[in-house]
Structure 1
Amino acid sequence: MPDKLRNSVVLAGGQSSRMGQDKALLPIEGEPLLTRLVRQLTGVSECVTIATGTARRAESYREALEGLPFATTIQFAEDIYPGEGPLAGLHAGLCTVQEEGYVLVTACDMPDISLSLLQRLLEARSGGSDAIYVRGQPFHALYHTRVTTLLEEALEQRNLRVMGFLGGLSTTVLQQEIDCSEPVTGLSNLNTQEEYHNYLNRMRRDGS
């Protein structure tokens, strides 16, 4: 088990247009995807912030998580720059973090936290980079809180591409490795109904 982080952020403010319904509330093994993800994050971080985009979505997610026995603190962050995509969610989430340091950032369409990948990310902190991520995958990654000001500058200038933003940071980029001990890779994204049903089918096969 990797060392426990102080903070993690879930980006859950997207429009889910390709899925056709709210990805964060997709049912997986009898619970919403967001609940599944937060349950995993409570094992690796002391505080989980859900960047919801809007107040309405925050209320919906608060209801979905209500009554669950999470020991970790759960908080919600609305976009300060509404409608500006994942960088706005990243900015909102990091703005809630009080302590300086690295934050694990994932997206609500990534249903599995890979402990082996997280360990690799944590080991790379010694390099002191602004962000540590797997090539081509800007989330399930570590971001240092010092990038918050740079995020604000990018949003003010409407430079909204995530990979473009990363290109202006000091980064450590890891190569993707497949860990056969984890039945579903932590870098799975569920963007479409086809990807969602394929994921469910893999879970059934792996669990059989």
Structure 2
Amino acid sequence: MQLTSLILAGGKAERLENREKALLLLDETPLLTVITDSLKAVSSEIIFSLRDEDQRALLSPLLQDSKVVFDSFKGKGPLAGILEGFKASSNDYVFVTACDMPFVNLDVVEHLFKAAQGHDAALIRKSDGRFQSIYAVYRARSMIPEIEKCLAEGKNFILAPVFKLDDVVAVDISEISKIDPDLRFLVNINTSQDLKKEGISIVD
């Protein structure tokens, strides 16, 4: 499978007292390692989007010789990290996830990858009609110019360039629920309540 997985890890966890989310522990394993090890099974390449060299030094034992990118557009949020990841990708199709979404479902990833073939992107459409922008597969060559235009226009939300694409596949959440009935893959860790609920611990 010629799929690149891009893991966004450069955000600051303000609701978790700016702790490094990538280093939070699930069953005594850092979240970044949990996600990376899972995605190896379906990815020919893994790229990490990080804040800066200091963060790379901190996470270096977990990066496993994978590609690392930093934002060229500073202060623009995850869309800037996605842009650099797409530019660095060796493959045309890129699966985008985040380091605070540890419950990877490989069947869902493969389903989205297959749905994206020949199209600009494949995104999950939730029951309220909104699209899931993280945990989606994008065609890098289609997205790069649209992201650059959006960032130049000050449109920093992830779906801004997606709405400019002509050929996006909407995968209904009901279809994905057949693969993962509990939708565990969508869980992300943002608060201390999330830590407790999902059994995530903090590095001492």
Is 2:178 the counterpart of 1:171?
no
Report the Cα offset of residue 53 of structure 1. Answer: 2.2
**TM-score w.r.t. length of structure 2:** 0.84
Consecutive unaligned residues in structure 2, runs of 5 or more: 126-130
In 1, are the aligned partners of 2:107 and 2:179 still within 8 Å (CA)? no
Residue number in structure 1 paired with 2:132: 137
Contact 1:58 1:78 in 2 (8 A): no
- After TM superposition, the structure 1 = structure 2 runs for residues 95-174 of structure 1, keeping only pairs within 5 Å, are 95-99=87-91, 101-126=92-117, 128-135=118-125, 136-146=131-141, 147-169=143-165, 170-174=167-171
Trace 1:89-100 onto structure 2 (pairs within 5 A): 89-99=81-91
Matches within 5 A, 1:14-163: 14-20=11-17, 21-65=19-63, 74-99=66-91, 101-126=92-117, 128-135=118-125, 136-146=131-141, 147-163=143-159
Q: How far apart, in 2, do the equivalents of 1:28 and 1:94 lie? A: 28
TM-score by length of 1: 0.83
Tell me which residue corresponds to 1:197: 196
Cα displacement (A) at 1:166: 2.0
C-alpha distance in structure 1 between counterparts of 2:179 and 2:76, whole Å: 37
One-letter amino acid of the counterpart of residue 171, structure 2: L
Give the secondary-structure state (helix, strand or coil) at the position aligned to 2:184: coil
Alpha-carbon offset, residue 109 of structure 1 = 1.0
Contact (CA 8 Å) 2:42, 2:110: kept in 1 or not? no
Match of 1:45, SS state, is: coil
Q: Which runs of 4+ in 1 moved over 3 A?
A: 179-184
- Structure 2 CA distance for partners of 1:200 and 1:16, relative to 1, 3 Å: same
Task: Give the aligned length.
Answer: 190
Contact residue 3 and residue 95 of structure 2 kept, 8 A: no
Q: Percent identity?
A: 28
> Helix, strand or coil: the match of 1:18?
helix
What's the Cα RMSD here?
2.1
Runs (5+) with no aligned partner, structure 1: 67-72, 202-208
Q: Which amino acid aligns with 1:200?
A: G
